[in-house]
Structures are given as structure tokens and as C-alpha cells.
Structure 1
Amino acid sequence: MKITYFGHSVILVEHGQDSIIIDPFINGNPHTNVKVENIKVNYIYVTHGHGDHLGDTVELAKRNDATVIAPVELATWISWQGVKVVPMHIGGEKEFSFGKLKLVEAIHGSSIVDEENKQIINVGPPSGVLLKIAGKTIYHAGDTALYRGMKTLGEYEKIDLA
């Protein structure tokens, strides 16, 4: 397994034939020099709808014919952009070709700001995620405030990387 950190909240996890990127905020991310066209993935996970996490999800999914995994409301909005999605909800766990993915609670907002129409679109709850790949567990907290549930996660899950 190979894990690459691209700054801010962006991580790429590669294992075997699979690769999943979490929160692909590439364009406009001052902490990375990677280009969207150079990223090859077959899965994308988005923790919530804010631009610095949703980022380049739609472009990246279309370029790679990748499947986007996200909380239900956000996944629905992303599907309206012409992208394949797997909607999930907090507490849900699903098996994928790379391993298991489980959504966990996060304390934050989750909306898309439509500047042109001066609208804020609520896209459901934010999330963190547990990735269980090759016998290891990776916890990506998304954009959460510190909360007691994080301690509980650590008590119930053997987290190898957070």
C-alpha cells in the first residue's frame, strides 16, 4: 500500500490495482503542485461539500471514469453532475475492491456555495471515513472539530494512521 499526502485534506491511497483519493482539492490548493490530469484513480471519497474538500471531484471522476463515494445528499448532488456514485450514510460500511470503507461522524458544516445565484445548497451531514485496506485501518477525519467520538473510535478500532 502507498499513501501520498497532497496537502490540506487530500490523500491518495494506492493498493494493488485500486486507488482512492479523499477530498480531491487540487486546483487552488496552495499546498500541492500535482495536476488533476496526472492523478489516476478509480475511487474518490468526499467527506463534505465545502469547496476545499469537494474540489476537483467531478473533473477527476469524469477523467478517470471513477466512482465517487460520499454521504447520500452530497452523492446525489454529484450524480447530477454526470458522475457515478455510491451513496452512503454515517455508520454505514461497504466492501469495495480495495477493502472496506465506513463513514463516521464529523462535526462541521457541509454545503455548496453557488456564488452566481447567491445560494447555499445544504448537501447533508459531513463525515469522516475509516478505510480498511490490507489489514490496516486509516482514519481520515474530514474537516471536523475535536469531539469525544474520536476517542470512542480509537477504543473500538485499531487505527494505524490518522
Structure 2
Amino acid sequence: MPSETNEGLEFIVRAALIGIGATAVMDLWAIFLKRAFGVLSLDYRLLGRWLGHLPSGQLVHESIAKARPVAGERILGWGAHYLIGVTFSTLLLTAWGLEWARSPTLLPALFIGIITIVAPFFILQPGMGAGVAASKTPKPNVARLKSLGAHSAFGFGLYVAASLTASILHGLL
């Protein structure tokens, strides 16, 4: 039984570290795009606003930017952003297991990163008023490519974070 407990703890620790690290890589990519090319990414304050309206039953907004602000929306949005990253890393570890996390390879991480685009395309963007896969935005294909780039960066971040975590935790867990 101690082995199952140790593996459970290892799973939780790795999922958290990999998810946080991958989300940070995604954020670094967004900073690079903004500074180098003036490309803006999602304002996570608006994610917090969208989440803040959910308890009152409002899932879909005409425009989240025009919706009533909610208290603590910036913290809520950024916290949710990182929690979502940990959730997606948990998906990766559930699909490929701890053995993958101990010796990570790029393709499973990129695969998970890219398929996570389903969440913004079919939940977040429609809920915030941008339509399915950004169909209601002025330049839907540009928005889609930005989402694909961000989620590809997240996938690459899953690999990088898993590799760093494997090096750091080697022999500790």
C-alpha cells in the first residue's frame, strides 16, 4: 500500500509542477509575441469576469468586455488560468502515466497541448461573446491561429516542464 500512496503523491506533485510550468511557458510565449510583434493575448481579467458571472447562471455574454466587472476578476482569472493548466497536465499524466513524466517525450505533450484548444473554441470563446472558434471576431482565422499558437506553446511547455521536473525529482520521489 505505501507504493500506491507514493505514486499518488508523485502524480499530484508532477501534475502540479508540470501544469504550472507549462502555463508559465505559454505566458512567456504571449509576452514574447506582445513585445516582438504587438500581438495581444487573452486578458485573464476577462476570464475571471466570465467565471465570476457563472454563479448567477450567465454562461454566454454578448461581449465579456462590456459585461459588469466582478470583484477580484484579475486574481480569479489568473488563478483559473493556472488551475486549468494543472488540469490539462493531469489529463496528460492520466493518458500517458507516470512513466512518461519520469522520461518525457515531446509528441504526447504537443498532442495534449493542441487538443486543449477545444476548451477555448467551444466553451470560453462562445461564452465570452466571440462565437464558436472565434467566429464572431473581426478576424476569426487570426484569432484561431493565435489560439493554436498559444496551445502549441502550452504543449511544448508540458514537455519542458516535465523534463525539468523529471531532472529535479529524480531520486526524490
> Same fold judged by TM-score > 0.5?
no
Kindly name which structure, 1 or 2, has the bigger radius of gyration based on alpha carbons.
Answer: 2
Q: Normalised by the shorter chain, which TM-score bucket?
A: under 0.3
Which gives a bigger RCO, structure 1 or 2 (Cα 8 Å, sep 6+)? 2
Q: Under a length normalisation based on structure 1, what TM-score does the superposition of the two structures give?
A: 0.25
- Specify which structure has the higher proportion of helix: 2
